[in-house]
Chains A and B, each alone.
Chain A
Amino acid sequence: MIARVLKYSFAQAKTRALKGRLLSAEDWHFLLRCKNPEDVLKYLSGTDYAAALSHLPKGKPDAKVLSLALYDELFRDYAKLLKAVPKKSSSLLKALLLHYEAENLKTILRGIWEGKSPSEIRFYLYHLGSLSRLPVAGLLQVQKIPPAIELLKSTIFYSPLVHALPQFKAQGKLFPLEVAIDITVLGHIVEVLKSLGGHDRKGTEVLIGELIDSENLCWLARFRHSYGLSPEEIINYVLPGGKRLRIRDLGTLARSRDLTSFLEALPQPYREALMQAKDWPEIQPLFQRWFLVQLYEVFRKDPFQIRLQLSYLLLREIEVKALDGLVSALNLGEPIEEFLEFISLPVIGGVRV
């Protein structure tokens, strides 16, 4: 216990300080009343996001540029916490960050597939800087997918992509490669979790398990109802290692006839959390709202474990996504009420703002 306290004392103080800088209920009150992206930008320049947004060009902000700038704040937090936590546990945060590395990789592959120029592709990449291990410069010089995959030999994406290559060639679309990348990231998080020491592993197992359940449920809903894929194909795209959903459960969910039978097949407490869903796209925001409460709960428990930093980073990610969604909705001129349905906002004591 004393060793843990010594190891995590600085990290937990740092994390709590960072959490204190998350947007408050009052901030969201005013942000949700903004009429356009410029107002959002103006309001955010008085918050923790000021540093990241100060580099934006003057005038009406480009939606993508603004979105990437918001994520810069998240990456800055990653960098700070990676330095603060013990080296062994930092591998879990790095594994979590790999999600953005994966997004960049997918963007690059999509760009290559669509024949975009290196500068066009680079524009859409998250600014991971020194946190990135991808050979971005080399990848941007390639014009075909197989040689691009060859450049990834030193990364964990290589084998899964090589294995997905025959399906990519057979189907003539990027989908198999993109799924392979996503599965790799989650699989890697599970692997890293197993390598952690006692308390860190036990404390994080539940959170990571729920995160994987969340991803599986969202994929099931999206693949089936947005992409129209068959149950037997979808089952192969889920990831084992969730907290409450085993492969057998996921198979049953994938084969469910409609939303009602899908919800009935869910174990508790997921069933209760998602019961209000009236349509498939609502699964993700509803689950995320439930998950948000679990993340806040972590801050009331033993703070001398890596799950505290993990929870904070996930909270910050949800906040950035919410801001990104808000800016996009304002850019498209969508009513705020509609946007509210599909977004998770920070909560106070489990109650949405």
Chain B
Amino acid sequence: MFKPERLVRITIQVPAQFISVATATLARFKLLHLVRIGETHLGHLGYVAETDGDLLKEFEGLFKGIKVLLEALQIRPEPVALRELIIPEKEIFKTRERLGEVTQEVESVMNDLRITREKLLEKETLRDKLDFLPPDLDLSRLLSCQFVNWMIGLVPARGLEKLQESLSEVHRAFIHIGTLGQRAVILVFGLRGDWPIFERALRGAFFEKIEIPTQVSGTAAEIMENLRSEIAELGEKKKKLSQQREIFQKKFGAELLILKEKIIQSRNILSARRHFGKIDKSYVISGWIPERLFEALKEELTKATQGQVVIEKVDPEDLREVREGIVRIPILFNNPMLISPFERLSGLYGTPRYKEVEPTIFFALSFLLMFGMMFGDVGHGAVLFFLGHLIFRRFYKYVDYGIILMECGIVSALFGLLYGSIFGLEDVIPAVWFRPMDNISYFIKVVLALGVAMVSLGVVLNLINALRLREYEGLLSTTGLAGGLFYWGLVGLGVKYLITGKLVPAELTVFGWVAAVLMTIIILHRPLYLLMVKKERIGEVVKKEGFFTEIVESIVELFDGLIRYVANTISFIRVAAFALAHAALFIAVFSIADLVAHEKGGGVFYWLVLAAGNVVIILLEGLVVSIQAVRLEYYEFFSKFFRGGGEKFRSFDREIGSEERRL
């Protein structure tokens, strides 16, 4: 949890006839970070494998087909776990046949549904267009005109003036009978002899003729009546076909999702082969896997290839490229389910190096604590929890955010209990701890203590990182042990003053001397490091180029660093500020609700204002509080210890899958 997974570099050599089964086994294991052969020495020499392009194309075609089918049947994507071994060369036959059978069974119904929908839309559009006609307009009479032609249709409203001008030299009658979106519905009359001019002008005006069936008789109202009954019939047909689709959904949904996953896996396996090496008739696969999986993988591969596989394992420390920093060991996080969603947020700041402390657990716990403190309300917490639950159940792509939201909801509700607040009402439940608005100065002390704890944790983690990465020079700097001791001394004095209200002069004297020593160490940390660790002579150190510049820089860094400690700690006051803002917003909402309550029908408006106010607070405050919590994490906490620059572990199937999507 505090460290990423321990990885080993493996190299697999497998004869060509077993490559399918070997790749399938690796895909099933998932946790392989593939090293692209093209980027290695072997790849530079041209020993790169090729893949079966035709087979890959065939899978691409099947993928498109199944996507269309899933969309037509409105089957929602859900995660599917495949247990069996996927061998693309075999899978293509199975998938093609089954997909063909399903398509054949659903095709006619789906086509019928599509056509019905189109017809319905067409009729509804016509109804909207004809709706503008005066109901008593007798179309039979219009259709029997002998010397006059007429047309009804739509033109862009902006073009009306131009249309008038283009017909200004012929006899015409224009009736603008309505507006549909950005278009005008017009009825145009002209002499039959001039009609070609009308047609040309109307063509230029992007005129869309509304077709009135020639066999119609009677008034516009009668035509509309017919249309409405046709629409009702089509609507009924659409409903029946939709029911049929639902039956298909239940019958084929799960199976189609499995088929889709198999197609994706097959495609990934085939694509991955481009990143393998090939020497003569053997494939070479190289990558990183968790050490704990090595034996199991070896066993599986040996079984699958009938013992004709050679697997080599190398510890990262034994690799020259790793020691020289040319190759970075990928980072595979190892967090429990409730913490792992926060990897997305901590990952935004950067990926830790292999030997660095993995900060997600600290991020997650402190984020939740700060969120709860700023957004403490039982009712709001419950709303957030249910929103999170909804996302968790319905939108599998956003499962991580669903979990985060649920956790935020729980801590928010817990703090709501501690503050005694439910939907802003503070007289319903008692406060287990205290009410923020009544104890502002106490609250500020609490969040300052939280700030001290977070900054101190940052310093400790920085010391651990420095030791793990052997950056001993940093131990004596402002962000190292020296700076940390100074900070803790200062905090100790502050705490004592807050508790007793006075400081003994001797304490100040001792602190002054300790501070002077620590500051001297911080300023001279670089020369001290060279003298003590690198065992250089004092003369050499002093005579080194830039010695005095370094000292001046250290002095500046010292003051900057010490100010930072104070600023970082004080910055946590925002936790209290936003918690108070949360409570203050409620006061504003209740005040507005009380005001409207005195108006006519005020009882209803009172509750409406309360409901709307709560929605606004949840959305607005929720967002602001999240941003502030993340800000505190990044700027006040992570900046103390996080180095970053690591490479994220990309599992074999995901890496190839995302690469395919990019292509």
Give the residues in chain B near A170, CB-CB below 8 Å: 203
* Binary per-residue interface labels of chain A (149-176) against chain B in the complex, 1 for a CB within 8 Å, 0 otherwise: 0000000000110011011001100001
Q: How far is the CB of B392 from chain A (nearest CB, A)?
A: 30
Known: A232-B166, A236-B166, A251-B168. A166 touches B208 (CB 8 A): yes
A160-B206 Cα distance, complex, nearest whole Å: 9
Bound: A255/B205 CA distance, A? 17
- On whether the beta carbons of B156 and A235 are closer than 8 Å, the reply is no
B161 touches A235 (CB 8 A): no
A159 to B154, CA, bound (A): 13
Which residues does chain B contribute within 8 Å of A255, judged by CB atoms?
A: 169
Provide the residues of chain B in CB contact with A160, threshold 8 Å. Answer: 156
How many angstroms between the C-alpha atoms of A237 and B200 in the bound complex?
12
| Interface membership of B425, Cβ < 8 A | no
Q: Complex formed: what's the CA distance from A160 to B158 in Å?
A: 11
B446 within 8 A of A: no
Residue of B162, B169, B204, B205 near A247 (CB, 8 A) is B162
Interface string of A240-253 (1 = CB under 8 A from B): 10000001101100
Contact A236 B208 (CB under 8 A): no
A180 x B206 contact (CB < 8 A)? yes
Cβ–Cβ < 8 Å partners of B158 in chain A: 187
Which residues from chain A contact B161 at a C-beta distance below 8 Å?
Answer: 240, 247
The answer to whether A235 and B166 have CB atoms under 8 Å apart is yes
Q: Which residues of B contact A171 (CB under 8 A)?
A: 203
Q: Give the one of A167, A238, A240 with max B CB within 10 A.
A: A167
Given A159-B182, A187-B158, A230-B200, A235:B165 Cβ within 8 A: yes
**Bound Cα distance A236, B163 (Å):** 6
Is there contact, CB below 8 Å, between B165 and A251? yes
Binary contact track A218-248/B, C-beta < 8 Å → 1, others 0: 0000000000011111111110100000011
> Are B208's CB and A233's CB within 8 A?
no
Check A251 against B182 for contact (C-beta < 8 Å). no
Q: Does B201 contact A (CB under 8 A)?
A: yes
Which residues of B, 165-218, contact A by the 8 Å Cβ criterion? Answer: 165-169, 181-183, 197, 200-201, 203-209
- Give chain A residues whose Cβ lies under 8 Å from the Cβ of B165: 235, 247-248, 250-251
Residues B204 and A234 in contact, CB atoms below 8 Å apart: yes
B206 and A233 within 8 A (CB): no
- Expressed in whole angstroms, the Cα–Cα distance for A232 and B172 within the complex equals 14
Per the bound structure, the CA–CA distance linking A248 and B166 in Å amounts to 9
Q: Complex Cα distance A283/B161, Å?
A: 26
| Docked-complex contact A236 and B162, CB < 8 angstroms | yes
Are A235 and B162 in touch, CB under 8 angstroms?
A: yes
B307 interfacial by beta-carbon distance below 8 Å: no
Interface flag for B644 (CB, 8 Å): no
Residue B645 is within 8 A (CB to CB) of chain A in the complex: no
Contact, CB under 8 Å: B204 / A163: no
CB closest chain-B residue, reference A238: B162
- Residue B135 interfacial (CB < 8 Å): no
- The digit string for A277-303, where 1 denotes a CB below 8 A from any CB of B, is 000000000000000000000000000
Chain A residue nearest to B167 (CB atoms) is A232
Alpha-carbon distance between A22 and B166 when the two chains are bound, in angstroms:
42
Neighbouring B residues of A232 by C-beta, 8 Å: 166-167, 197, 200-201, 204
CB pair A176–B206 under 8 Å, yes or no, is: yes
**CB-defined interface of B148-165 with A at 8 Å, one 1/0 digit per residue?**
000000101011011101
User: Number of residues in B with C-beta < 8 Å to the partner?
Assistant: 25
- Nearest residue, chain B, Cβ from A254: B166
Are A236 and B159 interface neighbours, CB within 8 A? yes
**What residues on A are CB-neighbors of B197 within 8 Å?**
230, 232
- A233 close to B204 (CB less than 8 A): yes
A236 & B209 in contact (Cβ 8 Å cutoff):
no
- Binary flags per residue of B553-564, CB closer than 8 Å to A gives 1, else 0: 000000000000
Contacts of B209 in A (CB 8 A): 166
Give Cα distance in the complex from A231 to B161, angstroms: 15
Contact with A along B205-247 (1 / 0, CB 8 A): 1111100000000000000000000000000000000000000
Point out the residues of chain A lying under 8 angstroms from B200, CB to CB: 230, 232-233
**CA of A187 to CA of B157 in the docked complex: distance in angstroms?**
13
Expressed in whole angstroms, the Cα–Cα distance for A232 and B165 within the complex equals 8
| Chain B residues numbered 16-60 whose CB sits less than 8 Å from any CB in chain A | none
CB <8 Å contact, B166 and A163? no
Most chain A beta carbons < 10 A, residue from B158, B162, B166, B182: B166
In the bound assembly, the distance between CA atoms of A313 and B156 in angstroms comes to 31
In the complex, the chain B residue whose C-beta lies closest to that of A160 is: B156
In the complex, which residues 170-186 of chain A have their Cβ closer than 8 Å to any Cβ of chain B? 170-171, 176, 180
Q: Quick one: given A237-B204, A255-B169, are A163 and B156 in contact (CB under 8 Å)?
A: yes
In the complex, A237 Cα to B197 Cα: how many Å? 15
Q: Report the minimum CB–CB distance from A254 to chain B (whole Å).
A: 8
Residue of A164, A230, A231, A232 most packed against chain B (CB within 10 A): A232
Chain B residues whose C-beta falls within 8 Å of the C-beta of A164 in the assembled complex: 206
Note all chain A residues with C-beta closer than 8 A to B182. 159, 163
Looking at the assembled complex, report how far the CB atom of A80 sits from the nearest CB atom of chain B, in whole angstroms. Answer: 30
A231–B165 alpha-carbon span in the complex (Å): 10
Residues in B whose Cβ lies below 8 Å from that of A238: 162
Q: Report which of B169, B203, B206 forms a contact with A163, defined as CB distance below 8 A.
A: B206
CB distance from A100 to the nearest CB of B (A): 23
Residues on the A chain within 8 Å of B206, using CB: 163-164, 166-167, 176, 180, 236
The docked-state distance in angstroms from the alpha carbon of A307 to that of B163 is 33
What A residues does B168 contact at CB under 8 A? 251
Bound-state CA distance A187–B162 (Å) is 14
The answer, among B154, B204, B207, for a CB contact under 8 Å with A235, is B204
In the bound assembly, the distance between CA atoms of A122 and B156 in angstroms comes to 32
Residues 339-363 of B, flagged 1 when their CB comes within 8 A of A and 0 if not, give 0000000000000000000000000
Are A167 and B207 CB-contacts (below 8 A) given A232-B197, A236-B201?
A: yes
- Give the Cβ gap from A310 to chain B, nearest Cβ, in Å: 24
A234 to B183, CA, bound (A): 20
A-side contacts of B163, CB under 8 Å: 236
Minimal Cβ-Cβ distance residue in B for A255: B169
Which residue on B lies nearest to A167, using beta carbons?
Answer: B206
A–B Cβ pairs within 8 angstroms, 11 of them: A163-B156, A163-B182, A163-B206, A170-B203, A171-B203, A232-B201, A232-B204, A233-B166, A235-B204, A251-B165, A255-B169
List 6 other contacts, CB 8 Å, given A166-B209, A232-B197, A233-B204. A163-B183, A233-B200, A235-B166, A247-B165, A248-B165, A251-B165
Residue positions of B touching A, CB distance < 8 A:
154, 156, 158-159, 161-163, 165-169, 181-183, 197, 200-201, 203-209
Would you list the 8 A-B pairs with minimal beta carbon distance, nearest first?
A: A236-B204, A233-B204, A235-B166, A166-B208, A232-B201, A232-B166, A251-B165, A236-B205
